Structure 1
Amino acid sequence: MDGFAERLPKGRPRRARPPPPATPPARAVFPFSAIVGQDELRDALLLSAVDPGIGGVLALGDRGTGKSTAVRALAALLPPMMAVAGCPYHCDPARPAALCAACRAGAIRAVTVAVPVVDLPLGATEDRVVGALDIERALASGVKAFEPGLLARAHRGFLYVDEVNLLEDHIVDLLLDVAASGENVVEREGISIRHPARFVLVGSGNPEEGDLRPQLLDRFGLAVEVRTPTDLRARVEVVKRRDAFDRDPEGIAAAWGAEEAALRARIVAARARLEGTAVPDAAIEDAARLCIALGTDGLRGELTLIRAARALAALEAEPGVTRAHLRRMAPAALRHRLRRNALDEAVATTRVERAMEEVFGA
Structure 2
Amino acid sequence: MNKKTSEQRPVFPFTSIVGQEEMKLSLILNVIDPKIGGVMIMGERGTGKSTIVRALVDLLPPITVVEGDPYNSDPYNPELMSDDVLEKINNKQELSIIKVKTPMVDLPLGATEDRVCGTIDIEKAISEGKKAFEPGLLAQANRGILYVDEVNLLDDHLVDVLLDSAASGWNTVEREGISICHPARFILIGSGNPEEGELRPQLLDRFGMHAQIKTLKEPNLRVKIVQQRELFEKNPKEFIEKYKEEQIKLTNKIINARELLKTINIKYELLEKISQICSSLNVDGLRGDMVTSRAAKALAAFENRTEVTPKDIYTIITLCLRHRLRKDPLDDIDNGLKVQECFKKVFSY
Mark yes or no: TM-score above 0.5: yes
Cα pair distance change 1:190/1:254, threshold 3 Å? farther
Task: Give 1:88's aligned amino acid.
Answer: P
Q: 1:117 aligns with which of 99, 104, 109?
A: 104
Cα pair distance change 1:97/1:46, threshold 3 Å? closer
> Does structure 1 conserve the Cα–Cα contact (< 8 Å) formed by 2:64 and 2:74?
yes
Map of 1:100 onto structure 2: 82
Instruction: Give the 3-state SS of the residue equivalent to 1:83 in structure 2.
Output: strand
Matches within 5 A, 1:1-362: 24-26=4-6, 27-106=9-88, 107=93, 108-133=95-120, 145-188=132-175, 192-342=179-329, 344-362=331-349
Task: Give 1:172's aligned amino acid.
Answer: V
Structure 1 unaligned segments of length 5 or more: list them: 1-20
Instruction: Give the 3-state SS of the residue equivalent to 1:121 in structure 2.
Output: coil
- How many residue pairs match? The answer is 339
> Does structure 2 conserve the Cα–Cα contact (< 8 Å) formed by 1:88 and 1:148?
yes
> Does structure 2 conserve the Cα–Cα contact (< 8 Å) formed by 1:133 and 1:189?
no
Cα pair distance change 1:252/1:175, threshold 3 Å? same
> Which protein has the larger Cα radius of gyration, Structure 1 or Structure 2?
1
Task: Give 1:148's aligned amino acid.
Answer: P
Identity %: 49
Per-residue deviation at 1:177?
A: 3.2
Residues 191-249 of structure 1: per-residue CA shift (max 9 Å, x gap): 53111111111011111111202222111111011010111111110000011112222
Per-residue deviation at 1:345?
A: 3.0
Task: Give 2:55's aligned amino acid.
Answer: A
Map of 1:11 onto structure 2: none
Instruction: Give the 3-state SS of the residue equivalent to 1:69 in structure 2.
Output: helix
Query: What TM-score results when the alignment is normalised by the length of structure 2?
Result: 0.91
Per-residue deviation at 1:96?
A: 2.6
Distance 2:121 2:68 in 1: 17
Q: Bigger shift: 102-111 or 273-282?
A: 102-111
> Does structure 1 conserve the Cα–Cα contact (< 8 Å) formed by 2:37 and 2:167?
no
Instruction: Give the 3-state SS of the residue equivalent to 2:42 in structure 1.
Output: strand
> Does structure 1 conserve the Cα–Cα contact (< 8 Å) formed by 2:37 and 2:166?
no
Task: Give 1:333's aligned amino acid.
Answer: C
Instruction: Give the 3-state SS of the residue equivalent to 2:210 in structure 1.
Output: strand
